[in-house]
Structure 1
């Protein structure tokens, strides 16, 4: 990855398009699961989304492998895709954007109150 790709995010666009090409080859129930996975995993993204690329690549690889083995998507992911995504993103209780923003807001408010009260 060069500097220009880092700044523009063109590498992420290229990777995302490659994921979509791979996902289009999956059976329909797996494609639906892929859509749900991407929807749920995005909340665990950092500012750029780069942290998600290996996670999404591995999740798509899992779907490709199990689809080729003939397993059903429910055997692989279960009924709780959101929980599956939380486990992928770093375990149950993994922090989302909302959690990070809430912590940052609390720190900023605490700083301001400390300055006002001090």
Structure 2
């Protein structure tokens, strides 16, 4: 990846289009599971989402493999797709980008209030 791709995110756009093309050929239940996985993993991404690309690639590969083997999504992921995604992202209670931004905002406000008060 060159500097320009990293700045513009064109590599992410290209990767995302590849993911969507791969997901389009999945059976309906696997495609629905992919959509849920994406929805549950995106909050765990950083500002660009670059940190999630290997995780999403692996999750999609798992769905492709299970579809090829004739397994249902329920057999592989069970009923707890949010729990599966939390485990992929680092475990239950892992911080999301909202948590990081909230902590940063709280630190900045506290710093400004300390300057005003003291």
TM-score normalised to the size of structure 1? Answer: 0.94
SS at match of 1:83: helix
Tell me the equivalent position of 1:19.
19
Q: Measure how far apart 1:117 and its partner are.
A: 2.2
Aligned positions of 1:1-118 closer than 5 A? 1-118=1-118
After TM superposition, what 4+ stretches of structure 1 lie above 2 angstroms from structure 2? Answer: none
Q: Distance in 1 between matches of 2:27 and 2:37?
A: 15
* RMSD of aligned Cα (Å): 1.0
TM-score normalised to the size of structure 2? Answer: 0.94
Q: Which structure 1 segments of 5+ residues have no match? A: none
Q: Which structure 2 segments of 5+ residues have no match? A: none
Aligned residue pairs total: 118
